[in-house]
Amino acid sequence: MQTRLKTIAKRVMGESLYHQLGAAYRRIHSVFRYGVKSRLKLIGIAHLTDKFDEHHSFAGWSYLDIYEKYFERFRNQKVSILEIGVRDGASLRTWKAYFRKGNVYGIDIDPRCKAFEEKRIHIEIGSQDDGDFLANCFGADKRFDIIIDDGSHVNRMTLASFEHLFDRRLNSGGIYIIEDLGCSYEKLQTDHHVLEVWPGMKYNDPGQTFDNDRKDMDDFFLEKIRKLDHRTGNVLSIHFWAMTCIIIKI
């Protein structure tokens, strides 16, 4: 019944309006259901990011409530924050408002994202699995205090970004966040048609696979944990929250 109603609503409104109204509903619903327990969430609401909606919350904790615990120490500093995945720029504007002295950097494969540049928001266009691009974006000497991966959510790309960015471009004491880990279990193309449905995904090479095998992420995390237990490597801690993971660099 519910699926039928959704199909009818989509047909009457059109796909785009249907999704916009759905996104607005999820944000409003989250505010009424969970309230506003962090300054970062309040700022996120004002900038209409989806990082606090019901798809990005669990047990009353949205991504923004979690991140504020880690971001607070940088709040009044000249922080540099890089996010993979810009879409409409809502999250970049949220970081800009929260870090009043900070600079925000975004990368995205979709060339239309360049339009969301503004003062203290810098955007470059390229793919998160392109090593040359990741080595040189915003100048090869540039280092970041916080890196967030909210890009394709395709495991092989998530891992390529980490491999290129964590050692070389994240400052000591910095924070690396991998979002939406629920996707890492999914056959994103076979079951969810992400190349056609998710914004910007069509710019990826369709000849590659977009189906995830969670084992790839498990192997990656287990190797990091193994190193931690042997007191080697440059990871200080890995904190798992629902769907998001926060890795602190030594």
Ligand X SMILES: C[S@@+](CC[C@H](N)C(=O)[O-])C[C@H]1O[C@@H](n2cnc3c(N)ncnc32)[C@H](O)[C@@H]1O
Catalytic residues: 153
Contact 195, 204 (CB under 8 A): yes
Which tokens sit at 187? 């056959």
Q: From residue 214, how far is each of 34, 166, 184, 234 by CA, in Å?
A: 30, 21, 5, 24
Report if residue 109 touches ligand X, rule: CB under 6 A.
yes
Distance CA 66, CA 170 (A): 20
Contact flag: residue 90 with ligand X (CB under 6 A): yes
Q: Which is nearer to ligand X, 102 or 151 (CB)?
A: 151
Q: Check binding of 85 to ligand X (CB under 6 A).
A: yes
Q: In this complex, which beta carbon is closest to ligand X, that of residue 120 or of residue 233? A: 120
Whole-angstrom distance, CA of residue 72 vs CA of residue 39? 10
Residue 127 in the binding site for ligand X (CB under 6 A): yes
Residue 81 contacts ligand X per CB under 6 A = no
Query: Alpha-carbon distance 95 to 105, whole Å?
Result: 10
Candidates 13-21, 134-142, 197-205, 232-240; binding stretch for ligand X (CB under 6 A): 197-205
Beta-sheet pairing, 170-178 with 144-149 = parallel
Using rule CB under 6 A, residue 87 touches ligand X: yes
Number of residues counted as binding ligand X (CB under 6 A): 24
Name the residue number minimizing CB distance to ligand X. 200
Q: Does 30 bind ligand X (CB under 6 A)?
A: no
Rounded distance between C-alpha atoms, residue 26 and residue 179, angstroms: 18
CA dist 79 and 170 (Å) reads 12
Exactly one of 204, 243, 244, 247 binds ligand X (CB under 6 A); that residue is 204
Q: Does 159 bind ligand X (CB under 6 A)?
A: no
Query: Interface with ligand X by CB under 6 A: which residues?
Result: 49, 51, 83-87, 90-91, 107-110, 127-129, 150-152, 157, 199-201, 204
